[in-house]
Amino acid sequence: MDLHGGNIYKFQREGKKDILDYSSNINPLGVPKILIDGISQNFSLLERYPDINYIDLRKSIGKYNRTDFENILVGNGATEILFLYMKALNPKKTLIVSPTFAEYERALKNTDSEISYFPLKKIEKENKKYFDLDIEDLKEKSLGFDLVVICNPNNPTGSFVELSQIKELNEFLEKNKIKLFIDECFIEFIANWQNKTSNILRSENIFILRALTKYFALPGIRLGYGICYNKDIIDRINSIREPWTVNAFADLAGKIILDDREYIEKTDRWIDEERRYFISELKKIGTIEVFETNTNFILLRLKNTTSEKFLEKMLAEGILVRNASNFKFLDNTYVRIAIKDRNKNSFLLKVLKKI
Amino acid sequence: MDLHGGNIYKFQREGKKDILDYSSNINPLGVPKILIDGISQNFSLLERYPDINYIDLRKSIGKYNRTDFENILVGNGATEILFLYMKALNPKKTLIVSPTFAEYERALKNTDSEISYFPLKKIEKENKKYFDLDIEDLKEKSLGFDLVVICNPNNPTGSFVELSQIKELNEFLEKNKIKLFIDECFIEFIANWQNKTSNILRSENIFILRALTKYFALPGIRLGYGICYNKDIIDRINSIREPWTVNAFADLAGKIILDDREYIEKTDRWIDEERRYFISELKKIGTIEVFETNTNFILLRLKNTTSEKFLEKMLAEGILVRNASNFKFLDNTYVRIAIKDRNKNSFLLKVLKKI
C-alpha cells in the first residue's frame, strides 16, 4: 500500500486518465497567478545557482510570520526540513502523537531513535466526533522521552490543539528537557491562524514545520521551511545540510506569493464555506462516520465496508481517495478525503450516496 | 572564503549590480527554449506531487545514456545523489583524487569515513601544462581504502582520465573490494563523450554522478542523477532517501531537453570553438600560467600576484572569478574562470591584459 496520497501516476500508467484526486490535500484555487507571471518573466533565474543562503527568501517568510529571517530555515519541501531536524537533534527516544503523517517515523529511522506512539482519543460530544489530545495524559507519558512530535492541525484526523494547551504542554516539556516538534503544514486553513500558531510562543524548545505545498497549491514546487528560535539547533542543521536544495522557482515563489492578498482572501472564503457545507452534507450519509475537521481534509469511517473495497468502488467512478488504514491506531474502515471546490465536492457527494 | 563559485548574491546585496559571473561554469546558451515553452504550457504540474518513483523521468535519462531506467537514480541536483551515495556506502576510508570539488568531503563528513587525498601531478609537455593522474601510483596508494573518488573531467583542473585508464583502475579496485565514485557532471562538454563515459563499462563497482546543471545551463532547476549497476546500493539509497526531492519542473526538464538536438549541436559547436580560441589567447598573456582543459572552465596560475588581489582587481572591473586557493594542493596563486561566449571572453581578455 502507498504511504502517501496523491500517487495518481500509478493509475495513469495503468491507463486510467482523468482521475479526480481526493487523496491529496491541495487548495483547489490552484497555482497563484502571481507566480505564473513571475516565472514567465524570470526564466533566466534557472541559469544561476540560487543564493546559497536564501537571504531574501528567508526575509519574505520571516515577514509573513512576523519574525526575523534568522529564525527561518528553508528546504526542499517540508520533508527536507523534517529530516534535517531529526538528524540534527538525534533524539534517543521519541513520542509521536498518533495517528499521524508517516514521514516523522521515516525521518527518525535515519537516526538511532526509539519510537513510541501516544494515541489520540476518539470522542463524541454534542453530535460531533473528533480525535482529542489529552494533554495531562501526554505530559505524564512524555517523561523519559527526548522529543514529542505533534502534527497540528493533525493529518489525517483534522483535529487541532489550541495554543493555550500547546503552551502548557511546552512549559512542562521544557522543564523536563523534552523538545517539541510541531508540524503546522496545514495551519493556514484555520481562520485567524496567525493568532493560533505556536510561533507566538517564540520558544527555544519548539521547532515548527511549515510548507507552501498545501495552502498555495504548490506541491510540485518543493518549498518548506522551519521556524526555530534555538541557535544551537539552527547551527547543527546548517552544518549537515546540502547546498542549494531550494530551486530557483521555489525561491521566487516564496518571495512573491506570501504577499498575494487576493489569493489568500479567496482561499479563506472558499475553505470557510466549503468546509461547513461539505461536513454537513457528509453527515447526512448514514453509512459513514464523519470526523470534525479544522483544515482542508476530512477523515471518514465506513460503517458497512472496508477501506479497500470502498477505494475500488470510488476508483471505478473516477475518484481517488486516501486509504487511511495504514495510519497507526486506525483500522481498515478509515479513509481520508480532501475538500475541493463546490462542483467537485457535489460530484463526490453524489457518488457517495450512490455507492 | 566561499566554498563555491557563483555567489553573486553577496555582491549584489553589497550594491554591486551587473556582475559578469566567471566563477560559475554554466553553458552561455542559457535555458533551452524547449523548456521555457514546456513550463509555460504546464504550470498546473505544480499543483500535484511529482511521481514519487519518477518513472518517466528515469526512462528519459536512461534513454539519453543508453541504459535501463532501473539503473538511474534522480535527485535534487547532483548534490543530493552524492550525499545519498556516501551515506548509503558509509565507507570507512576514502581516497579523494585532488585538487577537486569540495562537496565530496562535505558529503563524507555526514559519514564516519576517514578521508585522505591523492594528489594529481602538475605536468608540462609539448608546451602544454596540465594536471595528470598517475594510475599506477593511485592503484598502489588505494590499497586499504573502501572508496576512491574521482571527478572526471576534474573541477578545477579541467583534466580528464581516458576510459582505458578508468577501466584498468576499476578492475584493480574491484579485485581489492574498493568502490569507485566518478563525478561526470562536466563530461558532456567533451566531444564524443558518449564513447568516453565510464557508463560504457556497466560496472557494479562504479557509481557515476551526473547533472543537468552545467551543460543545459540549469543550476536553478536542481536536477542531478546517478548511474548505478549495483542493485544493493540502489536499494540502500532508496531506503534512506526522502520522497519528492525532484520538483515538478526539474522532472519536466529531464523529460524534454535531453532530446533537444538543436541545443546540443549548438553547444558542442560553441565549446569546441571557444575553448580553442580562449586557451590560445590566454596563453599569450605572460603573467599567467594556463592549464589545458577538456571542459568549460580553465584553471589559471598567477605569476605576479595573489588570487585575492587578482579577484579584487577583476571585481573592480565587474568580473567575478573563482578564487581557487582553497582547493587542496593549490595555493593562493590559483584562480578558475569559466568559458563563456565570444563577446564576454573577449571582454575578459581585454581586462586581463589591462590589469
Establish how many alpha carbons lie within 13 A of residue A177's alpha carbon, considering only the half-sphere containing its beta carbon.
5
- Give the span between the Cα atoms of A212 and A217, in whole angstroms: 7
Q: Closest Cα to residue A152, out of A83, A110, A201, A198? A: A198
Q: Is B48 on the interface with A (CB under 8 A)?
A: yes
Per-residue pLDDT tens digits for B119-163:
999 999 988 999 999 999 999 999 999 999 999 999 999 999 999
**Cis omega before residue A243 (within 30°)?**
no
Q: Where are the alpha helices (DSSP H) in chain B?
A: 8-13, 33-40, 55-64, 77-89, 103-108, 135-142, 163-175, 231-240, 248-256, 261-283, 307-316, 342-354
Query: Which of A219, A242, A243 is the closest to B48 by Cβ?
Result: A219
Pick the residue from chain B with its C-alpha nearest to A83.
B242
Q: Is A352 on the interface with B (CB under 8 A)?
A: no
| DSSP state at residue B242 | P
State residue B17's pLDDT score. Answer: 65
Other Cβ atoms less than 10 A from the Cβ of A320: the count is 23
Per-residue pLDDT tens digits for A236-270:
999 999 999 999 999 999 999 999 999 999 999 99
Per-residue pLDDT tens digits for B229-258:
999 999 999 999 999 999 999 999 999 999
Q: Closest Cα to residue B175, out of B207, B204, B137? A: B204
State residue B110's pLDDT score. Answer: 82
Q: How many helices and strands (H and E) does chain B possess? A: 12, 15
Average pLDDT over residues A4-15: 68
Contact, A85 vs A110, CB < 8 A? no
- Give the span between the Cα atoms of A2 and A24, in whole angstroms: 12
Confidence class for position B1, pLDDT limits 50, 70, 90: very low
Contact, A298 vs A280, CB < 8 A? no
State residue B6's pLDDT score. Answer: 58
> What is the helix (H) or strand (E) element at residue B290, kind and residue range?
strand B288-290
Percent of the residues in chain A that have a pLDDT greater than 90, as a whole number: 90
Task: Write out residues 254-273 of B within 8 Å (CB-CB) of A.
Answer: none
Q: Is A280 on the interface with B (CB under 8 A)?
A: no
Which residues, including other chains, have CB under 8 Å from residue B186's CB and lie 6 or more apart? B25, B153, B155, B214, B215, B295, B296, B297
- Give the span between the Cα atoms of B310 and B351, in whole angstroms: 11
State residue B4's pLDDT score. Answer: 64
Per-residue pLDDT tens digits for A31-73:
999 999 999 999 999 999 999 999 999 999 999 999 999 999 9
Confidence class for position A6, pLDDT limits 50, 70, 90: low
State residue A213's pLDDT score. Answer: 83
- Give the span between the Cα atoms of A261 and B34, in whole angstroms: 33
**Cis omega before residue A119 (within 30°)?**
no
Copy the grid coordinates of residue B224. Answer: 542531478
Q: DSSP for B45-108?
A: GGGSPPPTT-HHHHHHHHHHTTS-GGGEEEESHHHHHHHHHHHHH--SEEEEEES--THHHHHH
> What is the helix (H) or strand (E) element at residue A152, kind and residue range?
none
Q: Is B52 on the interface with A (CB under 8 A)?
A: yes
Q: Is A228 on the interface with B (CB under 8 A)?
A: no
Which residue type does B325 have?
Answer: S
Copy the grid coordinates of residue B171. Answer: 578492475
Which residues, including other chains, have CB under 8 Å from residue A171's CB and lie 6 or more apart? none
- Give the span between the Cα atoms of B67 and B312, in whole angstroms: 47
Residue B3 has pLDDT above 60, yes or no: no
Which residues, including other chains, have CB under 8 Å from residue A309's CB and lie 6 or more apart? none
Task: Write out residues 172-191 of B within 8 Å (CB-CB) of A.
Answer: none
Max Cα–Cα distance, chain B, nearest Å:
58
Confidence class for position A1, pLDDT limits 50, 70, 90: very low
Q: How far is A338 from chain B (nearest CA, A)?
A: 13
State residue A16's pLDDT score. Answer: 67
Instruction: Report angle CA B310, B316, B321 to the nearest 5 degrees.
Output: 50
Contact, B342 vs B274, CB < 8 A? yes
C-alpha to C-alpha distances, B232 to A258, A324, B71, B97, B236, nearest whole angstrom: 43, 31, 11, 25, 6
Q: Is A52 on the interface with B (CB under 8 A)?
A: yes
Contact, B298 vs B282, CB < 8 A? yes
Q: Closest Cα to residue A229, out of A72, A66, A109, A38? A: A72
State residue B5's pLDDT score. Answer: 61
Contact, B310 vs B302, CB < 8 A? yes
Per-residue pLDDT tens digits for B164-211:
999 999 999 999 999 999 999 999 999 999 999 999 999 999 999 999
Confidence class for position A3, pLDDT limits 50, 70, 90: low
Average pLDDT over residues B220-236: 97
Average pLDDT over residues A123-142: 95
Query: Which of B36, B46, B242 is the closest to A218 by Cβ?
Result: B46
- Give the span between the Cα atoms of A30 and B46, in whole angstroms: 8
Residue B344 has pLDDT above 50, yes or no: yes
- Give the span between the Cα atoms of B205 and B171, in whole angstroms: 9
Query: What's the mean pLDDT when you consider all of chain A?
Result: 94
Copy the grid coordinates of residue A39. Answer: 516565472
Contact, B146 vs B94, CB < 8 A? yes
Copy the grid coordinates of residue B255. Answer: 523529460
Helix, strand and coil percent figures for chain B, each rounded to 5: 40, 20, 40
Residue A77 has pLDDT above 50, yes or no: yes
pTM of the model: 0.92
Q: What is the 3-state secondary structure (H, E, C) of A302-337?
A: ECCCCHHHHHHHHHHCCEECEECCCCCCCCCCEEEE
Inter-chain touch A48–B245, beta carbons under 8 Å: no
Inter-chain touch B31–A43, beta carbons under 8 Å: yes
Which residues, including other chains, have CB under 8 Å from residue A284's CB and lie 6 or more apart? none
The sign of the torsion formed by the CA atoms of B94, B98, B99, B100 equals negative
Average pLDDT over residues A329-337: 97
Max Cα–Cα distance, chain A, nearest Å:
58
State residue B7's pLDDT score. Answer: 67
Copy the grid coordinates of residue B316. Answer: 573592480
N- to C-terminal Cα distance for chain B? 23
| DSSP state at residue B217 | T
Q: Closest Cα to residue B233, out of B61, B91, B95? A: B91
Inter-chain touch A48–B220, beta carbons under 8 Å: yes
Rg (CA), chain A: 20
Query: Which of A36, A47, A77 is the closest to B244 by Cβ?
Result: A77
Q: How far is A123 from chain B (nearest CA, A)?
A: 33
Residue A338 has pLDDT above 60, yes or no: yes
Residue A355 has pLDDT above 90, yes or no: no
Per-residue pLDDT tens digits for B251-289:
999 999 999 999 999 999 999 999 999 999 999 999 999
Copy the grid coordinates of residue B11. Answer: 555582491
Q: How far is B111 from chain A (nearest CA, A)?
A: 11
Q: In the block, which residue shows the cell 544493493?
A: B232
Which residue type does A201 have?
Answer: L
Q: Which of A48-52, A116-120, B220-224 is predicted with the least confidence, judged by mean pLDDT? A: A48-52
E strand map for chain A: 20-21, 72-75, 93-98, 114-119, 121-125, 128-132, 147-151, 179-183, 206-211, 224-228, 288-290, 297-302, 319-320, 322-323, 334-338
